[in-house]
A = this chain, B = another copy of it.
Amino acid sequence: MRVLIVEDEMELADTVALGLRREGMAVDVAYDGVSGEEHLEANAYDVLVLDRDLPGVSGDEICKSLASGGSPVRILILTASTGIEEKVAGLGLGADDYLGKPFAFIELVARIRALARRLEARVGPKLIVDDVTLDPATHQVHRAGRPIDLTRKEFAVLEYLLLASGSVVSSEELLEHVWDDSADPFSGVVRVVMSRLRQKLGPPSVIQTLSGVGYRIADDR
C-alpha cells in the first residue's frame, strides 16, 4: 500500500511516516503543499494523509483539485480544528475521512487500512481470460478494465464459455445448459446471442467460431 503524507509539522510527519512504515506501508512525506502536489503527480498513491492547515498551497485546494480531477486517491484529512462544521466542510471538499489532532496512532492506521480496503472493489472469485473478467457474484464483466453491461442470457453464455476454459462448446451444449426446456433447437438463438455478445465485447474478438463444431474462448494470443 502506497501512502503520501503532506504535513508541515516535520516532527509529526516523520513520526507518523515511521509508524506507518513499521506497519508495512510504503510511505512518502512532503512538508508543504507544492511538494505534495509534485509527489501526487509523479506517483500513484492509494491513500493521501493531508494536513488541512498548510503553508503555501492549502490542503483544501489540493483536496478540491484531486476530487475534480477524478483521482482515485483516497484522502484522509488531518486538522487541529475538530468542530463538526469543520468536519462537514472538509468532507464536502471530497475527502473520504477526517481525523482531528491530537489522534491515537492506532486509529490513524485503522482508518488508512479501511480506506485502502474500500478502494478495492468488492471482489469475488472471478473468471479471467486475457483481458476479460467475469464476476459471477456481482454479475459484472470487464474488458480491459472497462465495465460491460450484459443481459442475463448474454452473461450466462459468456460464463459458460469461460468455464469451458478454451475448449469448444457446441450450440447444442449451450442450448442444453444455458436455455431451458422451452428452447427451440432449430432456432438460431445462439447465433443471435453470440452476435450481440461480440458486439458488446468489441474487438479484438474473444469468441472464436469453429465451423460445424462450435464456439470457444480465444486463449492464445
Question: Taking beta carbons and an 8 Å cutoff, which residues of A are in contact with B?
Answer: 70, 76, 87, 91-92, 94, 96-98, 110-111, 114-115, 117-118, 121-126, 128, 133, 138-140, 142, 145, 149, 151-152, 155, 164-168, 170, 210-214, 221
B-chain residues with CB within 8 Å of residue A121 when the two chains form the complex = 114, 117-118, 165-167
When all copies of this chain in the complex are counted, the total is: 2
- A111-B124, A117-B121 are contacts. A168–B91 as well, Cβ < 8 Å? no
The one of B92, B98, B125 in contact with A98, judged by C-beta atoms closer than 8 angstroms, is: B125
Q: Are A211 and B151 in contact (CB under 8 A)?
A: yes
Give min CB distance, A127 to chain B, whole Å: 9
- A123-B118, A211-B151, A213-B139 are contacts. A91–B128 as well, Cβ < 8 Å? yes
Top 9 closest A-B pairs, CB basis?
A: A114-B123, A97-B124, A138-B167, A152-B212, A117-B121, A139-B168, A122-B167, A91-B126, A70-B221
